[in-house]
Amino acid sequence: MNRIIKQTMRLTTIALISVQAFVVSVATAADTKEVPVTDKRSKQSERLRAPNAMQCSADGATGLPLVAKDPKRDTSCFADWPKVAETVRSGSGMIIDTRSAEAYAQVHLPGAIRIPAELIKSKSYLARSAVLVYGDGKSDPYQEELCAQLKGAGFRNVRILSGGVLNWARTNDAKSNSEMVDIRGLAELSAAELYAEIVARDNLIVGFSSQFSNRQIDERRLKLEAPLSPERLAAVVQKAVKQAKAPIRRIVLVGMDSVDPQLLLQVLSLTRIEMPIFYYAGNLQSYEAAYARLSSQWAKYQKGPVAKKCGLS
């Protein structure tokens, strides 16, 4: 009996260490400081980006995250900026920012309040209001799940801003706002975030450097030879969007480490391209290290406890 108990404790410890290693690896690959957590609920809301599954809040007893496989998704809530602009300008609806407290403090849409995504469903009084939800606009299948869950909970007028805060930052509304908006900061991807974009299928990967090349990227990217200019990029993207068989929600630029900052800003601010433009300015080695680490650790993580149902309450 003691032998069985010891073996069980050993397996539990290994599982916990694996999850902790995955969290640390994401933070390390992102090359950014960890966002400070001010309370337990905020800590639970900091989700790992998973390519094919939604991650629920951690179980209170063990602290081990639960994963819902094949969750219901819905894209009908997504709306481009022109369709929600009047709501933001007039303040006629409830605007919800689902990003971290630190990101919200740096910049947010006028009138927006911050509520972690998994807590929105519990605010039953919001179901009777016109609700606009936005995040950072990066690859996040969880927002599709959020749309389905909110509609299932009786939210009859909920929209999610396609492209998130970055799409707003590119508009004249943001430029006339008193806050200074750092478009380059909002649009930059870490190595871990680029990994999520490569795995996603609702974006267009555009590469400018022949040196930034490996199998995963080459299978997805559209090559555009230097020199880079806003006009050339707009023409190539518009042609690709017309030929695409599925909707494209984001443009992702890779091989941008040597691009002039001012030229980069011009490209990111392109209004001829309706979807948001993100970029990765890190080196190929950092991305490959993150890809190998995250692929391996996520595969191990998926073998852990699985939730039959993932609630957002």
- d(Cα 112, Cα 95) in Å, to the nearest integer? 5
Q: What is the pLDDT of residue 278?
A: 94
Sign, Cα dihedral of 218, 223, 226, 227: negative
For the chain, the domains span: 39-179, 183-293
Domain 39-179 identical in fold to domain 183-293: yes
pLDDT 10s per residue in the chain (313 long)? Answer: 444 444 444 444 333 334 333 333 343 333 333 333 333 333 333 333 444 333 433 333 333 233 344 557 777 888 888 889 888 888 888 999 999 999 999 999 999 999 999 899 999 889 888 999 999 998 767 788 888 889 888 998 999 998 899 989 888 777 766 566 889 999 999 999 998 898 888 899 998 777 788 888 888 888 887 778 888 888 888 888 888 888 888 999 998 888 888 888 888 988 788 889 999 999 999 999 988 888 887 777 666 544 444 443 3
- d(Cα 284, Cα 229) in Å, to the nearest integer? 22
String of DSSP letters for 162-194? TTHHHHHHTSHHHHTSSSPP-HHHHHBPPHHHH
Q: What is the pLDDT of residue 256?
A: 87
Q: What is the pLDDT of residue 12?
A: 41
| SS3 call for 267 | helix
- d(Cα 89, Cα 164) in Å, to the nearest integer? 16
Q: What is the pLDDT of residue 304?
A: 54
Q: What is the pLDDT of residue 29?
A: 39
Q: What is the pLDDT of residue 171?
A: 83
CATH 3.40.250 assigned to domain 183-293? The reply is yes
Q: What is the pLDDT of residue 212?
A: 83
CATH, range 39-179: 3.40.250.10
pLDDT tens-digit map of 71-123: 577 778 888 888 898 888 888 889 999 999 999 999 999 999 999 998 999 99
Give, in degrees to the nearest 5, the angle at Cα 274 between 271 and 279.
Answer: 85
